Every structure is written in structure tokens, then in C-alpha cells.
Amino acid sequence: MTVNSAYRLWRAAVTSRQIESALSRAQLICKIRGARLTPLRRRVLELILSSDQPTGAYSLLAELRRGRGKLGPPTVYRALEFLLANKLIHKVETSSAFIACGDIEHPHETQFMICDDCGATEEIRDDEIVQILRRLGEGRGFAVERQVIEARGLCPACRSAQR
């Protein structure tokens, strides 16, 4: 199991240097893949990287409108679709929010641990879980194309606070 500590979001502060480094890597990866990280897409990714919680589309829209004036939801959703398609972010399905991918160099299936108290979300990458689900599907004649695994509970900080 690989726990991606570089973007671990349980109350971790991300520095501007880390954000800039992640944006530079994203720019390079897009170039290698033949995709274009436009200024708007880059700004959406920057906002997601800067957040200590998964971020919803309308929160992103509100922040973008501060600097760019009138933007509509479709503009944000197109940027999010691009970032998802290029594996730069993940969608947390239960909250319809977005989180930066902690390993953009290696596209992967991911799982999340989500704190019910504070909303902190941690990306977990466990290839064994992915393989187990694929084998279970194959055994039933089912082709697993996408996996959504989100475990909910309490993060260490919230568990400590409850004691």
C-alpha cells in the first residue's frame, strides 16, 4: 500500500513553494501528454492545491470570479473535466468536490479516507484493492472500468479531540 504523504491533507499546511512545484510538474506533464494547461485551468488547479479540503465547483467559481469577473459554471466544469481527464485531480464522489492528485506522474485508481467531523480527506493508493475488485468483477463476468472507494470515519486529530 502506498500512502501519498506529499499531498496528505489531514491538517497539513501546503506552502506556496510546494504549490508552485506541483503546478510546474502539471505543466510539464500536460506538455508531454500533448495537452494544454491554459491559464484558467492552471488557476483552478492552483486553487485546488491551495485548499486544505476537497473543493466544490461553486467554491472555485466564486474564487475565480474575484479575479476574472463574470464566469459561468460551464467554464469551471470544463476546466475540472480537463484536470480530471489528465489525472491531475480526483473527484470525491460523496461530496462532489475535487482534490489534487498526489502522484500526477503515475495515473492510478485511488481511494479516500474522509473525516466525518472536519472533512479532512486523505488520498490512499492501494493497488491491491484495485486488483481485488478487478478479480471479483472478472469472476462474475463484469469488466470494472472505474472504482470509487471512499471510507468515512474520524481522522487522528478528531479522534484525539473526542477523547
Tell me the mean pLDDT in the region 100-125: 89
Tell me the mean pLDDT in the region 14-26: 90
* pLDDT classification of 3: cutoffs 50, 70, 90: very low
Higher pLDDT: 3 or 87? It is 87
pTM for the structure as a whole:
0.84
In order of start, what are the domains of the chain with their CATH numbers? 2-162 (1.10.10.10)
Percent of the chain with pLDDT strictly greater than 90: 72
Task: Give the start-end residues of each E strand in the chain.
Answer: 2-3, 55-56, 89-92, 97-100, 111-115, 121-125, 149-153
Model confidence pLDDT, tens digit, residues 60-78 = 999 999 977 789 999 999 9
Secondary structure letter of residue 1 according to DSSP? -
Residue 95 has pLDDT above 80, yes or no: yes
* pLDDT classification of 52: cutoffs 50, 70, 90: confident
CA distance 114 to 121: 5
Strands 97-100 and 89-92: antiparallel
